[in-house]
């Protein structure tokens, strides 16, 4: 059997995602579609606006055959680690190809750039410029222009480069395919026809504005009854507590730079309002995404040592849901030995090493923290789409 992977956040699933999914199916007509999906925390260091199980239902309802979770120790990280986790999971699931959104849509050019980026010259120049105090995206763009003669890349192309590098990192035979992004960009605030960015849709949801025309029918039917949309500021009391209570341990937190922990501690002591706090701790060196990731990692206790471990190998693969095609593919995967796939936590301690069990527990504890704000129903086994009744 063949499988094509897509890496998604679906925060929430909208018409642009439907286009991506349809094209992935057209490009790989003999494959099932597997989505590696961020769970309760996403790559920009924010909580997902809706919980992982609601997203899994939405994903299956919109036509994906199997949904697996990208654990929080990958999903809340920078593009490099996010991509390594996602591609590693697709490799464990024996995917033949993967399709990602791209501003350029030029897969061969992205392959060429990714190879050049791994040169010693590029890495040295990047480190030199970082010492000047600029943010990583700014430094990356300047180095691209200087070393590679390239214009600035946009967010999807940058992530696409990391997917390509991750395929090499895992020595995978997955074939990457770049799909040119249409209509609107990742952070676009404009609505073009029935296309809007997830950023714009989240803004509409926060203001309780109508979204019926900019999401799929399946997504709308789920979102219209959802009553607990979740935002970063909701977690500030918990983040503030961690920054003050564990101020001496902040240097161990993933992505924390020397000295920044003092800035965070002082801000937490001084400001009770999240917006005031965030404005006080931000500077030109740190992008919004970088700062939010540090805060999320502090909230969850995600350390440098945990990150170091999960970059070495994929510890497990958790299935959140599937349809009949997905079930058939899962049965196919059972033929292979040493499977890391989880559909149930029963006898987990007998199947996995203590180290892997601790990572599984870390991900579940992170979701318990999310549920302090959004108390969703937590499923113990995968959601099975009953296609004949579309449930």
| Residues of each annotated binding site | 7-20, 101, 156, 181
Distance (Å, rounded) from C-alpha 169 to C-alpha 118? 11
* Tokens 């018409």 found at: 15
Reduced to 3 states (helix: H, G, I; strand: E, B; else coil), residue 386 is coil
List C-alpha distances in Å: 206 to 49, 202, 230, 234: 9, 6, 9, 13
Helical ranges in the chain per DSSP H: 15-27, 52-61, 72-75, 79-92, 107-117, 120-130, 136-143, 155-169, 198-206, 217-223, 236-245, 260-270, 274-281, 288-300, 304-310, 324-333, 348-351, 354-371
Extract the annotated binding site for ATP. 7-20, 101, 156, 181
Strand partners, 339: none
- Residues 137/138/141/146 CA torsion (nearest 10 deg): -140
Distance (Å, rounded) from C-alpha 87 to C-alpha 325? 21
């Amino acid at each position: 059997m063949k499988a094509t992977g897509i890496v998604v956040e679906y925060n929430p699933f909208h018409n642009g995602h439907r286009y991506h999914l349809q094209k992935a199916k057209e490009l790989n007509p003999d494959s099932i579609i597997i989505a590696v999906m961020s769970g309760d925390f996403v790559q920009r260091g924010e909580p997902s606006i809706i919980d992982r199980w609601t997203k899994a239902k939405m994903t299956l309802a919109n036509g994906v055959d199997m949904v697996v979770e990208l654990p929080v120790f990958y999903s809340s990280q920078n593009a490099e680690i996010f991509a390594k986790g996602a591609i590693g999971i697709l490799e464990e699931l024996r995917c033949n190809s993967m399709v990602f959104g791209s501003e350029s849509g030029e897969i061969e050019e992205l392959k060429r750039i990714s190879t050049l980026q791994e040169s010693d010259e590029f890495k040295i120049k990047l480190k030199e410029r970082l010492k000047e105090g600029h943010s990583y995206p700014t430094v990356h763009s300047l180095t691209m222009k200087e070393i590679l003669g390239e214009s600035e890349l946009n967010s999807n192309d940058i992530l696409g480069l990391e997917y390509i590098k991750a395929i090499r990192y895992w020595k995978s035979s997955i074939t990457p395919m770049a799909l040119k992004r249409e209509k609107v960009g990742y952070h676009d605030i404009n609505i073009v026809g029935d296309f809007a960015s997830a950023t714009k849709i989240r803004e509409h949801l926060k203001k309780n504005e109508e979204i019926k025309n900019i999401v799929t029918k399946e997504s709308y039917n789920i979102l219209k009854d959802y009553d607990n949309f979740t935002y970063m500021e909701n977690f500030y009391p918990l983040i503030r507590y961690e920054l003050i209570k564990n101020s001496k341990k902040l240097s161990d937190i993933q992505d924390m730079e020397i000295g920044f922990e003092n800035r965070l501690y002082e801000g937490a002591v001084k400001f009770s309002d999240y917006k005031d706090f965030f404005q006080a701790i931000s500077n030109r060196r740190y992008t919004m995404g970088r700062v939010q990731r540090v805060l999320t990692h502090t909230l969850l206790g995600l350390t440098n040592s945990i990150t170091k471990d999960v970059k070495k190998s994929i510890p497990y693969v958790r299935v959140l849901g599937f349809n009949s095609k997905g079930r058939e593919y899962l049965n196919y995967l059972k033929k292979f030995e040493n499977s890391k796939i989880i559909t149930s936590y029963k006898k987990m301690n007998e199947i996995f090493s203590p180290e892997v069990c601790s990572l599984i527990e870390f991900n579940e504890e992170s979701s318990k923290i999310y549920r302090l704000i959004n108390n969703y129903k937590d499923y113990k086994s995968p959601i099975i789409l009953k296609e004949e009744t579309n449930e």
